[in-house]
Chain A
Amino acid sequence: MAKSMIPKVPMYPFLLGAVKRVVAVLKTPDAPVKNLDDYPVNRLANELHPDRQKLVVDKIVEHSPDLKTFVFRPDDTRGTNRLAYFAAGSYLSIHYTDENITFTRPYSLSSSPKKALRDHYCITVKRVENGIASNYMLDHWKVGTMLTASAPLGDFTYEPLRDASHVIGIVGGSGITPFRSMAYAIADGDEDFDLTILYGSRTLKDAVFTDELKALSETCPKVKLVNILSEEKADGCEHGFITADLIKANAPEGEDYSLFLCGPQVMYEFADKEIAKLGLRQKFIRHELFGEYFHPEKDKDYKGDIGAEFTLTVKMAGKTFTVPAKADTSILRSLEAAGTEAPNQCRSGRCGWCHAQLLSGEVYTPARVEGRRMADLEYGYIHPCCSFPLSDLTIDVPPSM
């Protein structure tokens, strides 16, 4: 018999434990196992991040024929009774389908978080040359149009522990939308920071929400708007582009400030060069989603034949099919053009929702939109939204839920 190292510890509780187990189960009343929705933590998770939200267009504000704000409400006829709350600066991935067209695109929420609690979301859409989705929305969406949206997404939001207490928004064109949401969130007391919006546009007429934001800044001194017009001069407005000097002139004296950038890609190209002159720490510079990537052939490290055409062999949850693909078109766009719905949200390489496995072939991923995990590169996983084929490919793409 082995000598005990712990003679003072009794053996009987072991047997008693087994008895206790039998008794515990026996005396538990027989009731169905609770559903996930019965747990408060899961309920809150669903309220904040519903799998999808069924929406209907409630109102359309026409700023001009080429610029409209769509106001959505929850579509209770399709099971959505309320809208998910969000942090100002978030976006929705909007999915729409009818007999003519199917598309999924990210749009910043331009309304205040508070409005979500009153059953309203707004997005503001501008006409873009060759813009399949935006132009269709502007030309065909009416009050009553039904669509589906994701939960609010993204990280272009103010974080008090990370960002300076003064944020300067660098805005180009319809990039104003997340800042409109932030401005209202500040006015409503839901966010607490100083926001100076440097709003670049060609003319004052192009600078949508100017009057509204000016009015807001009069009652809410934390919000300030500066219009910068490139193609006209107007009273009270700056003329030209958003330069380093202009940023400095609007920065708080002797204090840190954060730059939040949202606008078209050409604006990023220009603004990034100007910002570099300011010598700011990286933590104080934040970009909204880059947007879809076009013209990879303009990149120095692009080694493909941009005119080439390839075949994508797609594996999707047990099914295999082929899709034509062009070298100058993202894999996601080629899938969509062939009528295949593939998962996507940000379409800018950042959110990872389109994560897919490259089984054979080669792709090009521009460095600007490289958002993959380290192991993805090692094991051949790609983000189809910003990957361009360099050869015939076989890819495993998850179904779109």
Chain B
Amino acid sequence: MANYDVIVVGAGNGGLCAATTCAKAGYSVLLLEKHNLPGGCATSFVRGRFEFEPSLHELCDESTNERMRSMNQIYADLGVKETFLREEMLYRVIAKGPNGYDHRIKATKEGFIESMEEAAPGCRQQMETLFELNYLFDAAQIYMDDCGGVSGMNPVTLLTKYGDFIRAAGNSIDKLLDALGMSEKAKSLTNTYWGYLGDPPRDLNAMHFISLLAAYVEGRPSMPYDRSHGMSLAILKVFQECGGEIWYNSPVTEFLYDDSGAAIGVVANGEAIYSKKIISNIIPNNVMNLSNSKFVKKAMRKLANARTLGMSIQTVYLGLDCSMEELGVDDYSVFVMGDPDANVQYDRRKDMGLYIVNCLNKTIPDASPDGTCMLFFTIPSFDGDFPADLKPQDYKKYKNALAEKYIRDYEELLGIDIRSHIEEISVATPVTFARYLSTPNGSIYGYMSQGWDNVVNRVVFKDLENKVKNMKFCGGHSLRGDGYPSAFITGEQMANETIAELKEGK
């Protein structure tokens, strides 16, 4: 009675990877997407002679251990061809205030440690330790994988051999860096990427953050040549070659279950479509809202209600009618901080916390026509930050004021003139992401991964918490938190688990 072996709901990064992995294994797959484009946030948009990258800042696509899955490996295994251009520099970071600074930090382990030591003398050994810790985290995760999950592990081995994994996985990055005796400045520089995970360092899981930092540093950040839209179309090409079907403009309006509560299909375009398995790239909150309440498991409902929604962003996209040299910009990523202390950046974010400015032309020189360049401002926006009482008639003014505030700040900071060069401007807010992604309050990071909802706990509790037979979840809201690689890796993992169940006839 099933029309397909697998229905994947949502063609974001996680859904694209899950669908392609299943199709590559020979199963019939239907990928349903509510929008008219694939990718979710992984897309692009055109204004005049510019094609903007809406959400991606940089990919950390190489793992520091060959046993660990990475985007590169997933792409290679699926046969996806895409051109990525690498960055030399990790970032330029400008901190304001009395203890402010301005440093450029290099990519690669050697480069990173060298620039960190130069910026904050005396931190070399502490930086080395961070990388050593990351190797141990990889080894611990491989050990857990080899044990077949939590139940197969020997707790004594875990505690004696991988004790530092347990230490880092249960504590914040603040606590870990303090324990290493790191200076305030070295801590500030190390924490630069906190916004990529969206939790202030006092709450940020140390294991998660160190893994992310090491992946960026050692893999060297990169960008897809033809924007994230190119990435999405590249993987879709493989999906379709394997017989996969994608339907756009086809939102799922209901999830279907049998009497036992097992998922059996969905309704899209007014028709019921049945499958043996479902992989949802859409957030569990939305799945539950689209399910008959009698089939919604109490534990999942309570978990969703207990969680904190993840970060969204406010962004300003600028197409400028001058080259980056004429503008006076020479960095791909610039992190601007209202204060060197990342916790203060979080606390004072409504005034001026952290914002990031990217110039894609530094990494991809022909990203826009000769004599032009693009700037992309990102300002983190946490659940509740966006003014809840904003009226539709004030929205345009709000967007303009936001853009002007950050453009002026950056102009003053760098002593450059941006405003007289603006040929195209587009501003996105959580409202924009809510419109295109239909996530609660426009969250792009799923749930905050802090405290008890850290990524290690998500993995440990996975099978206890998702009791819906035949349905799995992948994407930023899933096991590994936000980010392109996380979405790809959970997509692949859920596909592999689905394939294993199909093979066993479960």
Contact = CB atoms under 8 A, between A and B. Distances in A.
A118 B234 CA distance: 47
A9 B425 contact: no
A208 B86 CA distance: 57
Interface string A257-294: 00000000000000000000000011100000000000
A8 interface: yes
Contacts of B389: 40
Contact of A159 (B407, B425, B432, B442): B425
Nearest to A16: B170
B505 interface: no
Nearest to A47: B392
Given A17-B170, A282-B423, A378-B226, A25 B303 contact: yes
Nearest to A155: B47
A87 interface: yes
Interface stretch (B19-27, B69-77, B294-302, B486-494): B294-302
Given A48-B431, A283-B321, A355 B37 contact: yes
Interface in B291-321: 293, 296, 298-299, 301-306, 312, 321
Given A24-B306, A32-B301, A14 B386 contact: no
B154 interface: no
Contacts of A21: 452-453, 457, 461
A32 B286 CA distance: 12
A184 B333 CA distance: 42
A11 interface: yes
Interface stretch (B114-122, B155-163, B194-202): B155-163
Interface string A376-387: 101101000000
B248 A162 contact: no
B209 to A, nearest CB: 14
Contact of A318 (B133, B163, B247): B247
Given A36-B440, A373-B44, A375-B226, A87 B434 contact: no
Which of B133, B419, B452 counts the most A-chain CB atoms under 10 A from its CB? B452
A44 interface: yes
Contacts of A162: 422-425
29 contacts: A4-B163, A4-B167, A6-B168, A9-B168, A9-B206, A10-B167, A17-B452, A24-B452, A29-B305, A33-B288, A33-B301, A34-B285, A36-B289, A41-B312, A44-B390, A48-B431, A161-B404, A161-B419, A162-B423, A282-B49, A283-B422, A350-B46, A355-B36, A375-B229, A375-B233, A381-B233, A398-B36, A398-B247, A400-B249
A378 B237 CA distance: 11
B230 to A, nearest CB: 4
A39 interface: yes
B386 A40 contact: yes
Interface size for chain B: under 10, 10 to 19, 20 to 34, or 35 or more residues?
Answer: 35 or more
Contacts of A12: 170
A101 interface: no
B179 interface: yes
B323 interface: no
**4 smallest A-B Cβ distances: which pairs?**
A14-B170, A283-B423, A375-B230, A398-B248
A28 B305 contact: yes
Interface stretch (B55-63, B395-403, B476-484): B395-403
B36 A41 contact: no
A35 B227 CA distance: 33
Interface of A: 1-2, 4-18, 20-21, 24-26, 28-36, 39-42, 44-45, 47-49, 84-85, 87, 113, 117, 155, 159-162, 190, 281-283, 317-318, 343, 350, 352-353, 355, 371-376, 378-379, 381, 398-401
A183 to B, nearest CB: 17
Contacts of B452: 17-18, 20-21, 24
Contacts of A20: 451-452
A378 B179 CA distance: 52
Contact of A6 (B37, B176, B229, B247): B176
B221 interface: no
A288 to B, nearest CB: 13
Contacts of A155: 47
A313 B132 CA distance: 58
A13 B133 contact: no
Contacts of A47: 392
B289 A87 contact: no
Given A6-B167, A6-B176, A31 B249 contact: no
Contact of B440 (A28, A34, A379): A34
A174 B441 CA distance: 40
A36 B233 contact: no
A225 B312 CA distance: 44
B133 A6 contact: yes
Interface in B407-463: 407, 419, 421-425, 430-432, 434-435, 438, 440-442, 451-454, 456-457, 460-461
B175 to A, nearest CB: 6
A294 to B, nearest CB: 23
Interface in B216-246: 226-227, 229-230, 232-234, 236-237, 245
Given A18-B460, A162-B422, A343-B249, A33 B163 contact: no
Contact of A11 (B44, B159, B441): B159
Nearest to A381: B233
Contacts of A49: 435
Contact of B304 (A8, A33, A374, A381): A33
B466 interface: no
Contacts of A281: 321, 423
Contacts of A15: 170
Contact of A45 (B44, B169, B289, B435): B435
Given A13-B170, A373-B229, A379-B233, A398 B249 contact: yes
A374 B230 contact: yes
A47 B388 CA distance: 13
B249 A41 contact: no
Contacts of A35: 289
Contacts of B159: 11
Given A2-B160, A13-B171, 19 more contacts: A4-B163, A6-B168, A8-B179, A14-B456, A18-B461, A28-B302, A34-B285, A39-B434, A41-B431, A45-B432, A87-B396, A113-B393, A162-B422, A162-B423, A282-B48, A378-B230, A378-B233, A379-B233, A398-B249
A378 B136 CA distance: 42
Nearest to B371: A282
A383 B213 CA distance: 41
A8 B167 CA distance: 9
Contacts of A376: 229, 233
A15 B227 CA distance: 42
B51 interface: yes
Contacts of B129: 5-6
Given A13-B171, A41-B434, A282-B321, A399 B163 contact: no
A9 B388 CA distance: 40
Contacts of B254: none
Contact of A398 (B250, B296, B453): B250
A39 B312 CA distance: 14
A85 B230 contact: no
Which of A14, A84, A379 counts the most B-chain CB atoms under 10 A from its CB? A14
Nearest to B400: A160
B67 to A, nearest CB: 19
Which of A5, A32, A155, A399 counts the most B-chain CB atoms under 10 A from its CB? A5
B138 interface: no
A30 B298 CA distance: 7
Contacts of B36: 343, 352-353, 355, 398
A397 to B, nearest CB: 9
Interface string B368-392: 0000000000000000001011101
Nearest to A286: B48
A11 B160 CA distance: 11
B369 to A, nearest CB: 10
Given A16-B170, A41-B434, A379 B237 contact: yes
Contacts of B88: none
